[in-house]
Amino acid sequence: MAGDVPELDPAQALARQREGAVLVDVREDGERASGMAEGALGVARGALEAEPDRWLPDPDREVVLLCASGRRSLLAAQALQAAGYRRVASVAGGTERWRGEGLPMSAATADPEFLERYSRHLLLPEVGLAGQQRLAAARIVLVGAGGLGSPAALYLAAAGVGHIRLVDDDHVDRSNLQRQVLHTDAGIGRPKVESGAAAMQALNPRITVEPVRARLSADSVEDLLRGHDLVIDGSDNFATRYLVNDACVNLGLPMVYGAVHRFEGQASVFWAAHPGGRGCCYRCLFPEPPPPEFAPNCAQAGVLGVLPGIVGLIQATEALKLLLGLGEGLAGRLLQFDALRMRFDEVRLVRDPDCPACGARPRLKGYQDLPAGCSAG
């Protein structure tokens, strides 16, 4: 007994089930994918406590609850008692003990490696098995395998994004290694997409990484982005950034933006087709790139090595939220980060009705290859 909730061992619970009790597994969907006590009704604890009568219409029928180890089922049983259910019990030791005693289990609905690798995602009701499967089916383009692309690539690979097209035309240089954690000293001289793809596949062999060794151009940009769910802009030059923006506008794709300079960074989601009506594009903020002579000089300006990691992880977070349909994204907001003051500030963004790309009367005709001036990225 724990309080006034009876605790049964698994054999007793099985006997009660066979006598007519309802056996309910209150673990999350992803946990139950590894198999349940045979004949159990699977309802996550939160859903059961929110609407008990939906799942258990007869408050006088005996109910036996089990979870992974017995703690959550005990709490759920107490909640059911408070809701008027009179005959409620919890299984001590839960599914772990049930399985350990060799009692009948249903077959797993996902392979063990998948369940183990993503177990912490599967515990989140907001992700669960359906969300993890959605990530596995997702296709994204990551433009740039440098300072911003490195952390984004590693964490999106680890999270299980199924297909990642990695686009970059550069080689690994020793000066990159202070911030571009996707690469190692042994990879100096190697194409970044090859070095990056190898690191991502080593981290998670379940995903597909498609290395594309190329610089985006007016002729190639739309073909490289088409057919994907979103684009992460990890580029370091205005020519690429404006091409990505314009193609995303034309294709209706979200562009997850990030940029860094010295000790400051910023991030946003530019999505002109945002279903919530908060969409704008990069040209709404910066209609035209600065002349090359006024663009920051990457080699001379410098950047604190950890800064691209912070901004790149914000980009990865926004990408996962978009793919999963979670939370409030950065569409319509520019997040600014000052590392020296350790402070975040936010600027609200609205669509410019005169924007040359997504305004009321778009003026851009096709794509344009701009001078490759360095940007704050």
Specify the pLDDT at position 13. 97
Is 70 exceeded by the pLDDT of residue 376?
no
> Amino acid identity of 235?
S
pLDDT of residue 207: 98
Name the class of domain 7-110. alpha beta
CB contact set of 316 (below 8 Å; sequence gap of 6+): 151, 152, 155, 156, 159, 232
pTM for this entry:
0.89
Rounded distance, CA 258 to CA 72, Å?
Answer: 41
Q: At what angle do helices 192-203 and 149-159 cross, to 10 degrees?
A: 30
Please report the pLDDT score of residue 47 as a whole number. 95
User: Crossing angle for the helix pair 307-324 and 128-137, nearest 10 degrees?
Assistant: 110
Amino acid at 329: G
Active centre residues (catalytic): 298
Cα–Cα nearest to 326, from 96, 69, 130, 38: 130
The residue type at 291: P
Single-letter amino acid code for the residue at 361: R
- Residue 270: pLDDT band by 50, 70, 90 thresholds? very high
pLDDT at 370: 81
Antiparallel, parallel or unpaired: β 343-348 and 333-338? antiparallel
Residue of 370 and 112 predicted with greater confidence: 112
* Least confident span in 85-99, 147-161, 186-200, 273-287: 273-287
DSSP state of 294: G
- Name the pLDDT band for 251 (thresholds 50, 70, 90): very high
Measured distance CA(75)–CA(90) in Å, rounded: 9
Contacts of 51 (CB under 8 A, 6+ apart): none
Q: At what angle do helices 307-324 and 149-159 cross, to 10 degrees?
A: 40
pLDDT digits (tens, 9 = 90+) for 20-71: 999 999 999 999 999 999 999 999 999 999 999 999 999 999 999 999 999 9
The CA distances from residue 67 to 99, 104, 107, 291, in Å, are 12, 15, 17, 62
State the CATH architecture for 138-348: 3-Layer(aba) Sandwich (3.40)
| Average pLDDT value for residue range 245-264 | 97
pLDDT tens, position by position, 168-199: 999 999 999 999 999 999 999 999 999 999 99
- Every domain of the chain and the residues it spans: 7-110, 138-348
Amino acid residing at 217 = S
Under 8 Å between Cβ of 336 and 347: yes
Measured from the Cβ of residue 342, the count of other Cβ atoms closer than 10 Å reads 7
For residue 213, the 8-state DSSP code is E
**Contact 121/159 with Cβ under 8 angstroms?**
yes
Residue closest to 197 by CA, chosen among 232, 164, 233: 164
Name 326's Cβ contacts closer than 8 Å, sequence gap at least 6.
126, 127, 320
